Amino acid sequence: MAIVGRALLILVLVVAAYGICASIYGARRAKPEFVVSGRRSVYAIAALCSGAFFILELAFLRSDFSFATVASHSSTTTPTFYRAAAAWSSQEGSLLLWVWLLSLWSSLVLFLTRKQLRRVAPYATAILLGFAAFFASLLVFSVTPFGVLASVPPEGNGLNPLLRHPSMMIHPPMLYSGYTLFAIPFAFAIGALITRQVDAADWIRATRRFALAAWFFLGIGILLGARWSYTELGWGGYWAWDPVENASLLPWLTGTAFLHSIMIQEKRGMLKIWNISLVLTTGILSILGTFLVRSGILDSIHAFGASTLGVPFVALISAMIIASIGLVVWRRQALRSDNRLDSMLSREAIFLANNLVLVAMAFVVFWGTFWPLIAEALTGNRRALGPPWFDKYTVPLALVLVLLSGIGPVIAWRKATASNARRNFLVPAGLAIGLGVVLAVLGVGSRPLAFAMFVVGAFVVASVGQEFWRGVGVRRRMSGEAPLAALLSLVGRNRRRYGGYIVHVGMAALFIGVAASTAFNDARDVVMKPGQTAKVGNTVFTYVRPTSRISTTSDGRLEKISFGSVVAVRRDGKLVTTLHPERSYFPSRDLSLGPISRFLGGEATSEVGLRAGLRGDIWAAMTPDKAALQPEIDQGDKVFAAAQGKIPAKVEAQLLGQALRGLANRYVTNPPPATFRLITSPLVTWIWLGAIIVFLGGLIAIWPGERDPLRRRAQAKYAARLAKELGRAAGHSTGAPATDAP
C-alpha cells in the first residue's frame, strides 16, 4: 500500500503542476476549456489526497509498522482512538493533512464559483494549486509519509503521551482547517489583483464565508490548545505566549480585522488597500503558522514538531510577501477608495478603530514571538520575551478591543448623531458604571486592569442585549410574533449581524474570565507528605494519601505507571471537594536503561485534579519524588540484569510485572514527599463558556442562507418592492433580486 500512497503523492505534484499551467494558459489565451481542466485538476487532487490520507490512516489503525511513520509515532499499545490521531502527530502526516484539507476547501470554493468570477477564478486556481504543489513536493522529496522500513519492528515507539488527550484528536485538524481556509481568500485576492478586479464585490462575496469559516476553525483550534494546556501540561495555565500558540493567534487576529473591515468595502467601497493587505497578510501568517509548528526554529512546548523544513518554507513565505507587496503597489490606482468616511461617529469609524487595535495586537504578538531571532541576529544572544512583556501591551489593547465591540453594535452606519448616540449608550453605560461601583465597593478596584475589563465586558453584554431587545421589538411590531419567535426570526433573517453580536458577547465573557483568572488567582508550589496541609488563599489543601496504579493494554502489556494522591480541599473547615492529581510514566524504548528503569524512563504526563465551577476552579497537579524510589529501582535493575538469559522470557516478564507492582505498592505504603502545584482561580470556566458562545455566534453567521420557500418569497417580495420603488424613481424597470427582508 505504501507504494500506492507514494504514487498518489507524485501524481498530486504532477497534476498540480499541470493545473497551474492550464489555468494560467486558459486565462491568458481566453481558452475556457483549459480553465475548466485546471479546475478539474483541483478536484482530482482532492480525490488523490483523500486516497493517500486513507492509506496512511489505515496503516496507523492496523499498526502496520512497515510504514516508518507508523513505527515511530504509534504502537500496538496506543489506544485505537489515538491511533487514528497519531497520523497527524508526525511531521509527514501533518503535512499530508494540510494538503488534503487544502484540496478539499479549494474544490469546494471552485465548485461553488464555477459559474462566476470568470476572470479571477483561474488565477486563484493556480495559486491554490501552487500551495498544493509546494506541500506535495515536500511530501515527495523531503518527508514522505510512505517511507518503508527494511526490517519491520515488532512494536512501534508509540504516540507521545502528551498528545493522548481528546483535544489533540481535534486540535490539529481545526488549526489546519483554519490555515488552509485562509489560503482561499488569499488566492482570490491575488487573482483579483492580477486581473485588476480589486473593486469587484463578487470575489469578496464568494470568499467571505470561507474567511469566516477559517476564523471559526482556527479559533476552535486555539481554544482546544488552551484547554489541553490547562488540563494536561501540569503548569496550571491556559496560555503561555508560546511561539506556536502565538503563530495560530496571528492569522486569527488579522482575519478578525479583515472580517470587520470587509463590510466597509462591501457597503462603501472604502479601505480597499487595507482590506487586500489584511487578507494577504492573513494568508502569509497562516503559512508562517504552519512553518513555526513544523520547523522548530523557535523553542516551544511543541518540540515534537521540530524538523529541517526551514529553507523551503522561508522561500515560500518570501515569495508570498514579495508577490503581495508587488501586486498591491502595481494595482494601487485601482485600489483607491470610492468614498470617504462620513463621520468619526459611525460604525465604519468604530470598525476602523477595531482594525487598528487588532493589527496592533498582531504586531505585538509577532514582535514578541520573533524577538529571540531578532535579538540573536542583533546581539548574538537568543533571548525570549516572557508573558509579562506580552501582557504589558496586549492587556490594554484587549480592553480597548472589548470596549469597541460594545460600541459598534449600537452605532449607526455612515453617520450617527450625538443625540442618538446618547440615547443608545445611556442604558449600557449606566449598567456598566453601576456594576463598576458595586465592584469598587467589593474591593475589585485594587486590580485596575481586571476591574476595567469587568466594566467594559458588562457594557458589551448590555449594549448587545439592548440591540436584541430593540430588534425583537421591531419584529414584533412588524409581524405580531411572540417574543421567542420574533427573536428567532430576527436572528434567522440577519445571521451575519446577530451572529456577530453573539460573538461579541462571547468574547466579553472570555476576556472577563481571562482578567479574573489572571488577576485574582492564588497559586502555590509546595512539597507535602501525607497528612500535611497547604493554604492557598482561603482554601486549605490536605494531602490525604498517596495512590498508585499500573495501566495495561487490552493484551496485558504495560502502558503506564501512575503515582497519584488524594487531596481534600476545605474552605472554612468544610470539605469542598476531593481531587485526585497524578503523574503517569510511560515506558522508554531506550535499551541502555535497566529493565525497571525503562518502565519509568519514558515520557511523563500530568493528570490534574480539577474542580471547575462558574465561580472558580480549584486545580492541583503533583510530581512525586521519583528519586526516593531510585534505590529500589537500581536494585531491581541489578537483579534482572544478572538474571537475563538465565530464565525463560515468559517467566522474566511475569517477574518484571511483580517487581513493578511491588514498586507501586512501596510508593503507597512508604510514600516519599510529593511536589504539588495548587491553584485557586476565579471564573476560568467563563473562558470556555465564552468560547462556546463565540463559536455559536460564528456558526450562526456562517450558516448558509435559509432555503425555506416562504422566506424566499418574503425576500423576493421585499426586493421587488425596493426595485419597483427604485425603478419608478429612475424611470427604469428591473428584475427583483433576492435579498434579506428586514
Partner 1 sequence: MDVVALLVIVAIIAAVAAIVSAPLRKRAIDTRDDRGDRLEELEARKQAKYREIRDAEMDFETGKLSERDHRLLDRQLRAEAMDVLRAIDEEG
Residues of this chain that bind partner 1 (CB under 8 A): 1, 3-4, 7-8, 11, 15, 18-19, 32-37, 40-41, 43-44, 47-48, 51, 115-119, 197, 200-202, 205, 266-267, 410-417, 419-420, 423-424, 467, 470-471, 474, 494, 497, 718-719, 722-723, 725-727, 729-730, 732, 734, 737, 739-742
| Gap between the Cα atoms of 740 and 736, Å rounded | 12
CA 526 to chain centre: 33
Q: Which is nearer to partner 1, 6 or 83 (CB)?
A: 6
Nearer to partner 1 by Cβ, of 113 and 286: the residue is 113
Strand partners, 543: 567
Question: Closest separation between CB of residue 338 and partner 1, Å?
Answer: 10
User: In the bound complex, what is the minimum distance in angstroms from residue 294's beta carbon to partner 1?
Assistant: 28
Least distance from C-beta 94 to partner 1, angstroms? Answer: 24
Residue 602 CA to residue 88 CA, distance in Å, equals 21
Which one, 152 or 614, has the nearer CB to partner 1? 152
Which of 551, 587, 543, 583 lies closest to 564 in space, CA to CA?
Answer: 583
Identify which of residues 118 and 611 has a Cβ nearer to partner 1 in the complex.
118
CB of 458 to partner 1, least distance (A): 21
Pick 9 or 534: Cβ nearer partner 1: 9
Contact 316, 134 (CB under 8 A): yes
- What one-character-per-residue DSSP string does 390-423 give? HHHHHHHHHHHHHHHHHHGGGS-SS---HHHHHH
CB of 457 to partner 1, least distance (A): 22
**Residue 18, all three cell numbers:** 499541470
Q: Contact 244/303 with Cβ under 8 angstroms? A: no
Closest approach of partner 1 to the CB of residue 704, in Å: 16
Q: Between 14 and 449, whose beta carbon lies closer to partner 1?
A: 14
Least distance from partner 1 to the Cβ atom of residue 734, Å: 5
Angle at 208 between CA 205 and CA 214, to 5 degrees: 165
Measured from the CB of residue 495, what is the shortest distance to partner 1 in angstroms?
Answer: 12
Rounded to the nearest whole angstrom, what is the least distance from the CB of residue 410 to partner 1 in the complex? 7
Nearest residue to 120 via CA among 202, 212, 211: 202
Is the CB of 121 or the CB of 163 nearer to partner 1?
121
Minimal distance in Å, beta carbon 739 to partner 1?
4
Separation between Cα atoms, residue 590 and residue 24, nearest integer Å = 53
Least distance from partner 1 to the Cβ atom of residue 57, Å: 17
State in Å, rounded, how far the first CA of the chain is from the last one.
57
Which is nearest to 90 in space by CA: 145, 48, 133? Answer: 145
* CA angle at 26 for the pair 23 and 30, rounded to the nearest 5°: 145
Centre a 10 Å sphere on the Cβ of residue 388 and count the other Cβ atoms it contains.
8
Tell the smallest beta-carbon distance from residue 100 to partner 1 (Å): 16
Q: Which is nearer to partner 1, 139 or 162 (CB)?
A: 139
Q: Is the dihedral of CA 479, 482, 485, 490 positive or negative?
A: positive
Question: Could you tell me if 547 and 582 are in contact, meaning their C-beta atoms sit under 8 angstroms apart?
Answer: yes
Minimum Å gap between C-beta 408 and partner 1 is 11
C-beta of 330: minimal distance to partner 1 in Å?
21
Q: Which of 219, 176, 266, 94 is nearest to 697 (CA)?
A: 219
Cβ proximity to partner 1: between 32 and 434 the closer is 32
Strands of 609-611's sheet, edge to edge? 522-528, 674-682, 616-624, 609-611
Give residue for cell 496506543: 78
Select from 256, 223, 253, 255 the least CA-distant residue to 239: 223
Grid cell 479559533 — which residue? 219
Q: Which is nearer to partner 1, 25 or 393 (CB)?
A: 25
Given the complex with partner 1, which of 36 and 568 has the nearer CB atom? 36
Express the helix, strand and coil content of the chain in percent, nearest 5 each. 65, 10, 25
Which residue's CB is nearer to partner 1, number 116 or number 554? 116
Q: Which residue, 33 or 572, is less far from partner 1 as judged by CB? A: 33
Helix (H, G, I), strand (E, B) or coil at 244: helix
Distance, in Å, from the CA atom of 199 to the CA atom of 695, rounded to the nearest integer, reads 30
Minimum gap (Å) between residue 72 Cβ and partner 1:
23
Instruction: Give the E-state strand segments of 572-706 in sequence order.
Output: 574-579, 582-585, 604-607, 609-611, 616-624, 674-682
Nearer to partner 1, 55 or 664 (CB): 55
Instruction: Rank residues 122 and 289 by Cβ distance to partner 1 and give the closer one.
Output: 122
Show the 3-state SS of 17-79: HHHHHHHHHHHHCCCHHHHHHHHHHHHHHHHHHHHHHHHHHHHHHCCCCCEHHHHHHCCCCCC
Here the cell at position 480 is 405580531
